């Protein structure tokens, strides 16, 4: 080691060791944690004494920690709060019931009086509900006693009371209340900042107003309004203003606080004014009572009518095919429905009109479904296959019975697609008559036995070819219609000649004429069943005016598969 280094060691060795020690402590996390733990309680205390910054910074993280803890282990915290929650809830209910009862009694008494009307006007101007305003104006209470107690040593400074109040040893009462205050601080406030402000004892309420050096305790009969606490606080502030130093240094010498009783007597002036009910107001009370009874009867009757109407509506819905009701209720004058409804069933509005319920007072949430009610199955069949006035449908033991008359096309479609109907196992069409048969027979009668004339040989007379072709087209259309309706149209052709010439030549000509007609009919898609000829002889009286130079076409209509 050089001389310079030795000199540095001599001059700065201790400081270097201290700096190295500090660096080592800073670098080691567990050492820093220990150091912070040593000063943390004192640092928190001093920060809290300096202002609200510590509370503001801890409010959010502590609140989140409590929320998470309550969520993770609600049972433990519920058990911890149980001893406090029970009395608090009972006390709240007792006060609420007491206030409610008094409010009803007072409201009945003042509803139709000039003062009541005046209070209604004042409440409306102040924007306060009449019940709350009435409660503030008419709550019955009286401050029976007032104690002024030193906060420094618990000594009684002064005590005033009404002449009719039952008085015990005031010093003992002061000492007892001081002991209760200390017990509350020790038991329920770890930081000793808590304080008892009110207590209920039968017909009495105990209110404590805390000041810097003295405590004002008032014994109140009845239920005091909240504004009374402000008035008592003002009296205590006046006492501190006049006797501040004497109250702070009070040792039991009442001469140091002269005339304090006079100021304390101001507490006894607070009491509600209760007007006696005069005899001339009894008729008014009778009128009010009868009015209340009539109102109760009226609203009871309306409620009964509403329930009866709801029951009738529910019964009507339940009896309607295709509607299945799962829930019905009345809320704020509106009827609310939930259930299932077949699209072919009556609507909720239609059922409501049957029981005289306005549809705008009904809210319905109905989900669609297919009902197996016979009437709805029949209606669904009519919707699926079309409405036919000549057809009647009836469901008998899952068999759809069809009666009446219908086209073959409709009947064939019905037989092919009836399985699409839910709830139908089979169909019975024995009572169905083919309505096309009569129309076909009428048309056959119109087109039957038509004659077409020839000139010479197998040539049509003038205009006869066009007439024949039109007739052939009509026959083809008739044949198609017959085939679609389960019938078969067949034709017979009869050829004739005049009496001129030999019998053999006329027979050949008649056959040629009939064959020519038959070929043209076959080409038109028609079925020619028979070809007949007839040849008249000279002098034959059966020859027509045209000399028998014609061919005739006869029609035959029969059901397919039937024997002629």
Residue 361 pLDDT > 50 = yes
The whole-angstrom separation of Cα 334 and Cα 354 is 18
Q: Burial of 111 by CB count in 10 Å (0-12 exposed, 13-18 middle, 19+ buried)?
A: middle
**What pLDDT score was predicted for residue 149?**
92
The whole-angstrom separation of Cα 30 and Cα 35 is 9
Q: Which of 434, 451, 470 is the last residue before a domain boundary?
A: 434
Average the pLDDT over each of 33-42, 305-314, 381-390, 539-548 and give the range with the smallest value: 539-548
CB 161 within 8 A of CB 145: yes
Residue 56 pLDDT > 80 = no
Are 426 and 447 found together in one domain? no
Q: What is the CATH number of the domain that holds 412?
A: 3.30.1340
Residue 164 pLDDT > 80 = no
Bridge partners of 559, per DSSP, are 487
Are 213 and 149 found together in one domain? yes
Are 228 and 160 found together in one domain? yes
Residue 265 lies in a domain: yes
Average pLDDT, the chain: 78
Residue 446 lies in a domain: yes
Are 337 and 251 found together in one domain? no
370-409 pLDDT, tens digit per residue, is 888 888 888 888 777 776 777 788 888 888 888 877 777 7
pTM over 0.75: no
**DSSP β-ladder status, 141-150 and 204-210:** unpaired
Residue 312 pLDDT > 60 = yes
Are 250 and 194 found together in one domain? yes
How confident is the model over 166-179, as a mean pLDDT?
79
Are 344 and 443 found together in one domain? no
Q: Which of 434, 459, 481 is the last residue before a domain boundary?
A: 434
Are 333 and 358 found together in one domain? yes
Residue 88 lies in a domain: no
Residue 120 lies in a domain: no
Average the pLDDT over each of 57-61, 124-128, 379-383, 425-429 and give the range with the smallest value: 124-128
Are 154 and 265 found together in one domain? yes
Residue 6 lies in a domain: no
In sequence order, what are the residues at sequence separation of 6 or more whose Cβ sits closer than 8 angstroms to the Cβ of residue 552? Answer: 449, 450, 451, 452, 493, 494, 496
User: What percent of the chain clears pLDDT 70, i.e. is strictly above it?
Assistant: 80
Residue 58 lies in a domain: no
274-294 pLDDT, tens digit per residue, is 444 444 555 666 777 788 888
Q: Which of 236, 269, 302 is the last residue before a domain boundary?
A: 269
SS3 198: strand
Q: What is the CATH number of the domain that holds 201?
A: 3.30.450.70
Structural domain count, the chain: 4
Residue 330 structural domain: 293-368
Q: Which of 131-145, 173-187, 276-290 has the highest mean pLDDT?
A: 173-187
């Amino acid at each position: 080691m050089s001389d310079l280094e030795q000199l540095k060691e001599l001059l700065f060795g201790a400081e270097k060791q201290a700096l190295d020690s500090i660096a080592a402590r800073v670098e080691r996390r567990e050492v820093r944690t220990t150091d912070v733990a040593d000063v943390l309680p004192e640092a928190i205390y001093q920060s809290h004494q300096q202002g609200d910054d510590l509370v503001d910074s801890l409010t959010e993280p502590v609140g989140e920690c409590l929320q998470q803890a309550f969520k993770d282990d609600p049972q433990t915290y519920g058990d911890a709060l149980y001893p406090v929650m029970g009395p608090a809830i009972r006390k709240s209910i007792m006060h609420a019931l007491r206030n409610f009862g008094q409010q009803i009694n007072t409201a009945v008494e003042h509803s139709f009086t000039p003062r009541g009307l005046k209070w209604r006007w004042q409440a409306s101007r102040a924007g306060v509900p009449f019940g709350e305003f009435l409660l503030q104006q008419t709550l019955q209470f009286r401050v029976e006693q007032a104690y002024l107690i030193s906060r420094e040593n618990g000594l009684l400074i002064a005590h005033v009371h009404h002449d009719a109040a039952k008085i015990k040893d005031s010093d003992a009462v002061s000492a007892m209340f001081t002991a209760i205050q200390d017990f509350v601080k020790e038991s329920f406030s770890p930081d000793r900042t808590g304080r008892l402000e009110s207590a209920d004892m039968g017909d009495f309420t105990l209110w404590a107003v805390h000041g810097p050096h003295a405590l004002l305790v008032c014994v109140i009969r009845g239920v005091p309004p909240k504004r009374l606490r402000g008035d008592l606080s003002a009296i205590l502030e006046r006492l501190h203003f006049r006797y501040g130093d004497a109250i702070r240094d009070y040792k039991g010498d009442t001469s140091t606080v002269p005339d304090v009783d006079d100021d304390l007597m101001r507490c006894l002036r607070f009491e509600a004014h209760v007007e006696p009910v005069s005899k001339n107001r009894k008729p008014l009370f009778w009128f009010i009572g009868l009015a209340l009874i009539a109102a109760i009867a009226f609203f009871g009757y309306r409620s009964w009518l509403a329930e009866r109407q709801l029951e009738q509506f529910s019964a009507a819905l339940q009896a309607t095919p295709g509607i299945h009701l799962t829930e019905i209720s009345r809320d704020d004058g509106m009827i609310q429905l939930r259930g299932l409804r077949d699209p072919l069933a009556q609507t909720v509005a239609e059922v409501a009109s049957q029981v005289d319920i306005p549809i705008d007072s009904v809210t319905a949430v109905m989900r669609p479904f297919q009902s197996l009610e016979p009437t709805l199955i029949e209606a669904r069949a009519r919707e699926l296959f079309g409405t036919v006035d000549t057809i009647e449908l009836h469901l008998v033991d899952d068999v759809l019975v069809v009666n009446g008359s219908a086209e073959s096309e409709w009947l064939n479609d019905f037989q092919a697609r009836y399985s699409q109907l839910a709830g139908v196992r089979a169909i019975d069409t024995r009572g169905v008559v083919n309505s096309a048969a009569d129309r076909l027979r009428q048309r056959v009668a119109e087109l039957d036995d038509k004659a077409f004339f020839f000139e010479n040989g197998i040539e049509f007379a003038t205009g006869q070819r066009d007439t024949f072709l039109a007739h052939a087209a009509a026959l083809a259309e008739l044949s198609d219609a017959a085939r679609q309706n389960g019938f078969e149209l067949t034709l017979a052709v009869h050829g004739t000649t005049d009496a001129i010439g030999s019998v053999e030549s006329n027979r050949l000509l008649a056959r040629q004429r009939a064959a020519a007609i038959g070929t043209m009919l076959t080409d038109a898609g028609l079925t020619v069943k028979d070809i007949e000829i007839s040849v008249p002889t000279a002098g034959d009286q059966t020859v027509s005016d045209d000399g028998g130079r014609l061919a005739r076409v006869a029609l035959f209509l029969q059901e397919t598969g039937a024997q002629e």
